[in-house]
């Protein structure tokens, strides 16, 4: 899911983490059951060489009602500190208690009973471009959130270790969200229509 692409458990949500640097060593992915009426926020890959990040400050706590655009947390790599923005309205029901979290690990769960169920037709996924390609790098977006696209419009350019490809729109629509990940596995969603 593009949970924004898309990005939690702690009662001490306002505390600042100790000054440690992320290294991704001996970390494991968090196992969390995600109900159908909830959305997982994952740790996005904000830089090419990023493997993990430190949650240095939570801006929310369990039970908070959040809206799209709210800042959820400050995350810190060995190069920069960045704000993690919310893309799903609802109630915070889970905060990852770990200080250091792997890229693509669940950091938060947001409950929204009125959430529109994910429609596969609303998603654009990385196609199997070649039998030996399992992931690609996004090199250039040709669209942004809010753009209206027509069939065969170029959405994005992606690159494998062998070639560069253009992914085109297979339907008309308005762009709701784009993944912020640079490296994407084949089959993973990269774009969502409204």
The CATH number of the domain where 182 resides is what? 2.40.50.100
* Listed residues 95, 115, 135: the one ending a domain: 115
Q: Which domain holds residue 101?
A: 1-115
User: Do 189 and 165 lie in a common domain?
Assistant: yes
* Listed residues 115, 135, 159: the one ending a domain: 115
Q: What is the pTM of this model?
A: 0.51
CB atoms within 10 A of CB 69: 9
Q: What's the gap between Cα 108 and its chain centre?
A: 11
User: Do 62 and 139 lie in a common domain?
Assistant: no
DSSP 37: T
User: Do 172 and 142 lie in a common domain?
Assistant: yes
Q: Report how many domains make up the chain.
A: 2
Per the DSSP assignment, residues forming a β-bridge with 141 are 156
3-state secondary structure of 188: coil
- Cα separation, 47 vs 183, in Å, equals 9
Cβ contacts of residue 19 below 8 Å, gap of 6+?
A: none
* Listed residues 115, 139, 168: the one ending a domain: 115
User: Do 132 and 101 lie in a common domain?
Assistant: no
Q: Cα angle at 175 between 172 and 179, to 5 degrees?
A: 130
pLDDT in tens, the chain (194 residues): 333 333 333 333 333 333 445 555 666 777 777 777 888 888 887 777 888 899 999 999 999 999 888 999 999 988 888 888 887 889 999 999 989 988 888 899 999 877 655 566 788 888 877 777 788 899 999 999 899 999 999 999 999 887 888 999 988 999 988 887 788 888 888 898 88
């Amino acid at each position: 899911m593009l949970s924004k692409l898309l990005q939690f458990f702690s009662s001490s949500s306002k505390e600042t983490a100790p000054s440690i640097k992320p290294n991704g060593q001996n970390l494991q992915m968090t196992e969390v059951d995600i109900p159908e009426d909830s959305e997982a926020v994952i740790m996005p890959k904000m830089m090419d060489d990023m493997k993990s990040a430190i949650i240095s400050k939570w801006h929310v706590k369990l039970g908070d009602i959040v809206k799209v655009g709210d800042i959820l947390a400050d995350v810190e790599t060995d190069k920069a500190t960045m704000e993690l923005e919310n893309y799903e309205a609802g109630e915070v029901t889970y905060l990852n208690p770990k200080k250091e979290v792997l890229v693509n690990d669940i950091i938060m769960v947001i409950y929204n009973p009125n959430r529109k169920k994910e429609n596969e037709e609303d998603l654009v996924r990385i196609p199997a471009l070649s039998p030996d390609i399992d992931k690609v790098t996004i090199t250039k977006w040709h669209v942004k959130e809010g753009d209206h696209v027509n069939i065969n419009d170029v959405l994005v350019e992606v690159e494998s270790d062998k070639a560069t490809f253009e992914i085109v729109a297979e339907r008309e629509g308005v762009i709701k969200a784009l993944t912020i990940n640079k490296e994407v596995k084949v089959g993973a969603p990269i774009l969502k229509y409204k």
